[in-house]
Amino acid sequence: MTDSKSAESIRREVREYYASRSPAEASAEDCGCATPSAAASCCQPKGSAADLPGDIAEFSLGCADPVAAAALQPGETVLDLGSGGGLDCIVAARQVGQTGRVIGVDMTEEMLSRARGNSERLGLTNVEFRKGLIEEMPVEQGSVDVLISNCVVNLSPDKPAVFREITRVLRPGGRLSIGDIVTLGEMPADLRTMKDSWAACVAGALTADEYVEGLHQAGLAEIALTPADGRSLAEIPAGLPFSAIIRARKPPD
């Protein structure tokens, strides 16, 4: 769903929005989530990042903790879609260890610069950042054990392409752990058309059913979508955006 905007105009809006939030002095107060229901679980420092420098640990434009939900293991190769300032990649790199590898992909040069600077500052040698679109990932086919993403897939104007790319880069048996904004049922029109609605994680949000079906159509299995704050789906108001954790697995050959 792209409303009346072209894919390129949406990408330009998103790129400009997040580039403006990349300077070193930017903080968690610059979270992209634009509605109270979505923002409630946004931008919260992770327990696994508590010992990182404050300017790194507190700079998150995400809406959940997909790294914790992924249960990463030493030696795994992890791909982060829309890696932003690099926090999730840094946390993941410490969990997979020197025998593992983490790749962050982002289309915003300013965010890539911040992420690279943060990882170099911490002396991490098992993480790298690549510029690219999540609809056309600069990643080899079947090379990823675990794919993570934090409030980014909703920003894409072509989600079926993202889901196909996820299936392509995952190894057989590989898994995904995504934090994202979704709704139960259609979102009210006034939310979809608010200022910066695409860049602020609103206009591009899928319904929970659309998200699950999209992953299924791309060839993934064992798909589960749950609210990130521990509530059940029955407790979520219809039509309002909320933070979710989405898990799935690529079937083995």
> How many angstroms separate the CA atoms of 28 and 57, rounded?
9
E strands, 55-156, are: 77-81, 101-106, 127-131, 144-150
Q: Which has more confidence, 192 or 144? A: 144
Instruction: Provide the CA 141 distance to its chain's centre, in angstroms.
Output: 20
Radius of gyration of the chain (CA): 17
pLDDT at residue 200 tops 60: no
Distance set, CA 166 to CA 49, 76, 80, 209 (Å): 26, 16, 11, 18
Average confidence (pLDDT) over 40-54: 61
pLDDT band at 9 (very low <50, low <70, confident <90, very high): confident
CATH classification (class only), 7-249: alpha beta
DSSP 134-170: TTB-SS-TT-EEEEEEES-GGG-S-HHHHHHHHHHHE
pLDDT at residue 127 tops 90: yes
- The pLDDT tens digits for 77-121 are 999 999 999 999 999 999 999 999 999 999 999 999 999 999 999
Token pair of 235 as six digits: 């407790």
User: Where are the chain's structural domains?
Assistant: 7-249
Report whether 63 contacts 40 (CB < 8 A). Answer: no
**How confident is the model at residue 50, as a pLDDT?**
67
Average confidence (pLDDT) over 13-30: 58
pLDDT at residue 37 tops 60: no
Q: How many residues does the chain have?
A: 253
Strand partners, 160: none
Average confidence (pLDDT) over 200-219: 88
**19-23 LR contacts (CB < 8 Å, sep 24+):** 19/108, 19/109, 19/110, 19/111, 21/61, 22/85, 22/108, 22/110, 22/111, 22/113, 22/114, 23/110
